[in-house]
Amino acid sequence: MNDLSTLTVHELQAGFRRGDFTPLEALESLENAISSRDPQIGAYLSRDFETARAAAASADILLPLGGVPIAIKDAINVQGEPCRCASKMLENFISPYDATVISKLRAAGAIPFGRLNMDEFAMGSSTENSAFQKTRNPWDTGRIPGGSSGGSAASVASRTAFASLGSDTGGSIRQPAALCGVVGLKPSYGRVSRYGLVAFASSLDQIGPLARTTRDCASLMNILAGKDSRDSTSLDLPAEDFTAALGRDLRGVKLGIPKEYFVDGMDTRVRSRVEAAIAHCESQGAELIEVSLPHTAYAVGVYYIIATAEASANLARFDGVRYGHRADHPRDLLDHYMRSREEGFGSEVKRRIILGTYVLSSGYYDAYYLRAQKVRTLIRRDFEQAFEKVDALVCPTSPDLAFRIGERTDDPLRMYLADIFTIATNLAGICGLSVPCGFVEENGRSLPVGMQFLGRALDETRLLGIADAYERSCGLDFARALPK
């Protein structure tokens, strides 16, 4: 049988419908791909082929995603499967229920399959904070895949998943998508239900798709989006067809270039690839307009106050009583709490809990948390003003190429700065998507560069249309430009 693992979701479905192959054969291709390639990549923490085979054997290919396996970040609950958030704290946790996105995928005929590695509790930018394993960048296995959804991006890039789900609190879908050369969309806040996503920072978290093409992300969004009575922050909007603007071109599209996103200190090769891609957009008829987002410089600081504050509250539930690892033979209750948390959490998670507890503590709340919320409003207004003049913004996704494993683990500040171009999107609640836009050759290896399109809140359909127009005209076949 042919190797089907290189197909896009769209091609897979067309093949099912033509009768070229069956969902079971597609799954078998994936199993073979995983057995041969995942040992070098480490994208999967676990996978249950038995259950997936049963689902594939009875899949209804006429459903919107009938028979399509979708790999899942370890932070999203799938009933009966481990959901460990790559943490020792949840080492033995088995999900008692499906997240809403998983129920929706199942109802659409898709097969949620496998658990993808991530930074512990989604805190990180390299997937090195996983308590269980490293994930390697398929383009150069000496490098990180990005994070925190590193497994979600590395699996799609290494053809061990057709598409995956990730979560994005400050860039965790877009940055790994950029560093692995795939497409990743962070939907607007409220677009997708977070019910069943283990919470990191509840005012920032969103679930979204990673895939090899913009079209595949749009098809997945048609299933993932929508109001959910179990998540009061999900918005009640009329059903939308996110594929509606695909197939257009860039003529007349107004693209804003935020000048604060082209700064000294970023990798000049990344910058030149992104600039060339923007020039390409202009050659295709887009109008380029320089805009300013003056509060950008504060985004990383604001994020690391708000995200850690929310994380410290959300992670209080992992105390060995309600959830999580329980220390042996505690002397008393306090010892029980302290040792359970000490043993269960890794060092980055502890750092965030301590930071978050500090910024919320009495006497410091006004100076840090409250002030950060005010600056968050200014950041949101920057975007609102820019969107008065343009349809979307275009900028780099990450200031750097994928870095070497171990290079930044001792320097948290440097790691945090890698999020500089992705974080403001979450603070503002708008949508953002990363697409591959070129490669840099280094030591005989090609390393992908990602470019970000950012759109108004709830403007995903237009954003996907713009990204798709870029993708089809840029001369880089996303679906085939995969590592050897």
Q: How far apart are CA 110 and CA 59, in angstroms?
A: 8
Contacts of 18 (CB under 8 A, 6+ apart): none
Are the C-beta atoms of 101 and 192 separated by less than 8 Å?
A: yes
**DSSP β-bridge partners for residue 143:** 404
Q: Which amino acid is at 330?
A: P
Structure tokens at 271: 């910058």
How many beta carbons lie within 10 A of that of residue 78, not counting itself?
27
196 class by beta-carbon count within 10 Å (0-12 exposed, 13-18 middle, 19+ buried): buried
Structure tokens at 103: 């129920």
- Least separation in angstroms between residue 468's CB and ligand GLN is 24
Structure tokens at 143: 């490098």
Q: How far apart are CA 172 and CA 301, in angstroms?
A: 17
Cα-based angle 428, 169, 302 (whole degrees, multiple of 5): 55
Conformational region of residue 465, where left means phi above 0, alpha means psi within -120 to 50, and beta covers everything else: alpha
Which chain residues interact with ligand GLN by CB under 6 A? 122-125, 148, 168-172, 200, 307, 419
Active centre residues (catalytic): 73, 148, 172
Q: How far apart are CA 12 and CA 8, in angstroms?
A: 6
Are the C-beta atoms of 211 and 432 separated by less than 8 Å?
A: no
